[in-house]
Chains A and B, each alone.
Chain A
Amino acid sequence: MIKIKASTLTEVIVALVIISLVTGMFFTIIIKVGNYNRNRKYLLLNQQLLELVQEAKQYGYLDDETLDYEGYYIQKKVKPFKEIPGVWEITAEAFTTQNKKLMEHKAIIEYQILETE
């Protein structure tokens, strides 16, 4: 029968704890980096939605459109707001390629279409 000394047992336990901690750290880093990238992408996607709204407001891009953005796609829908002339309700939505809706941003903007445009 092999007798394990108390000191050896402690070393094994300590070694196991260290290994599990390092492994845990490794996975934590991987998960957090993944989360970081996902959050960053959410932020950028949200910015894209806001930019679409801003462009519609500034330049009068009032057509419905679908855009690709780094593996996602963004859909913009425009409709008149309460039938008030020159006021529009814009809904911009971001989807994954599997058609899962990630986020949505709604805005009310004013853009007068002049007769010469």
Chain B
Amino acid sequence: MYAIFIMLITLIVIGSIITIAFHHRNYMERELARQNLVSYTQSVLTAVLCDSTLSFPWDGTSLNLTENPNYTFLVTKERWGGYYIVSITGKYGNYQLQKKALCGTKGVLNDGAALYLNDNNNALSISGNTQLIGDCYLPKAGIKASYMEGDYYRGKKLVYGDILVSGNVLPTIDEEYLTYVGGLLQGKLMKTDSILDFSSITTSEFYNPFYNKTLYLVSKEPLFLNRCKFTGNIAIISSQPVTIFPTAELTDVMVIAPKIIFKKEWVGYLQAYARDTILLEQDVRLQFPSTIGVESTKNLGLIELNRGVRVDGNIWMTKNSKEKENKNSCSFFPETLVHGITQIEGKLSVGGKIYGSVYVEKFIYKTVSSYYENHLYNVEINAKARSPFYASAALNKKRGCNLIKMLEP
């Protein structure tokens, strides 16, 4: 009896040791795989961001990170307005790791020139405290110092950088991006998209992570966004004007409408695309990464940045080259700051500072009694003040990408 008892105990002990050892070995293997998978996924992300020659979907095998065939990767790159969402799924056996990152293209057009002014046979006149820092593409007629309201140009040099000759066509914005925005402005959605009528929403808070499909909130009525919170992978599309009040908390979302008005002191980051007009009232702050774009088919687009407005991101306006006349116009009032890229296929009136690059057909300056073309007065355009971590809104897809942020599940 004792003998059987001892045998039983011994067998249980041996069985337990073998089981523990087996599980421990499994644990070790999983732990090693987990550690390596995290590192490999990060490496794949780095490669995707810096190598613009890759085409997607991509499996990362060309990196030769490991000889173990159990590690597999799948990388996709999708557009989110003017930015990209890179998704990496790494697998080892049953273990899976998914990472998503929001990124923008690293470079800007023409190697980060401060200014590209179309050659419209008019020289650029600068006066007062104007500063052009960085390379400038200017009309053949050149640049000259002049008086404006009795104030002569005060700088020692006309341009603090190289002066290059511009052409009569602006560098183009990425065609694929414009087609994407045009489709949204026309309300073109697929049957497979998640679409919800704005009037059917009963809650004032919406969160849709970028790990889900894009949620399209569609409205046929004018929208007044007030005391609400929309975060993440959400596109608000309205066929009527949208007014955004400071109590509306919008993060990462896209707003698409014919006319968008940001009321005084609104703060947040989003992408706003309009068919006609975008107005930013006093002290509005669009934080990075934000983009505002107007695609006017009738060339009657209007963008207005009032006093105290700051935009960290991109501002663009395109024209329809089939129309004879171009009345697109954009105004940056005094005390505004734009940190990023501004591309206006139309007239631009600048009164504040631009830390980044400006691509424009024509500058205008208005006083109470006069109207001047290609005049800059008390304006700072400084390409060197642009942050090296800045990512543009896919204006130049040929460059590598800058990571903006990792997206939370």
Contact = CB atoms under 8 A, between A and B. Distances in A.
Interface of A: 11, 14-15, 17-18, 21-22, 24-25, 28-29, 32, 35-36, 39-40, 42-43, 46-47, 50, 53, 81-82, 84, 86-87, 105-110
Interface in B1-30: 3-4, 6-7, 10-11, 13-14, 17-18, 20-21, 24-25, 28
A110 B6 contact: no
B35 interface: yes
Contact of B46 (A21, A22, A46, A108): A108
B32 A43 contact: yes
Contacts of A107: 39-40, 42-43, 65
Given A14-B3, A35-B25, A84 B50 contact: yes
Nearest to B28: A39
Contacts of B24: 36, 39
A88 B185 CA distance: 42
B369 interface: no
B1 to A, nearest CB: 11
A25 B10 CA distance: 7
8 contacts: A18-B10, A42-B28, A43-B31, A46-B35, A86-B50, A106-B63, A106-B64, A107-B42
Contacts of B35: 46-47, 50
B49 A36 contact: no
A106 B43 contact: yes
B19 to A, nearest CB: 11
B267 to A, nearest CB: 31
Contacts of B47: 81, 87, 108
A84 B17 CA distance: 52
B61 interface: no
B51 interface: yes
A28 B12 CA distance: 13
B70 interface: no
Contacts of A82: 51
Chain A, interface SS category? helix
B17 A29 contact: yes
Given A18-B3, A43-B31, A25 B21 contact: no
Interface string B279-311: 000000000000000000000000000000000
B10 A22 contact: yes
B364 to A, nearest CB: 40
Contacts of A50: 35-36, 39
B51 A106 contact: no
B400 interface: yes
Given A43-B31, A81-B47, A106-B65, A36 B21 contact: yes
Contacts of B247: none
B226 interface: no
Given A39-B24, A107-B65, A32 B46 contact: no
B110 interface: no
Contact of B28 (A18, A22, A43, A53): A43
A20 to B, nearest CB: 9
Contact of B39 (A39, A86, A87, A105): A105
B66 interface: yes
Contacts of A110: 46, 49-50
A94 B75 CA distance: 29
B14 A24 contact: yes
Given A36-B21, A43-B32, A84 B39 contact: no
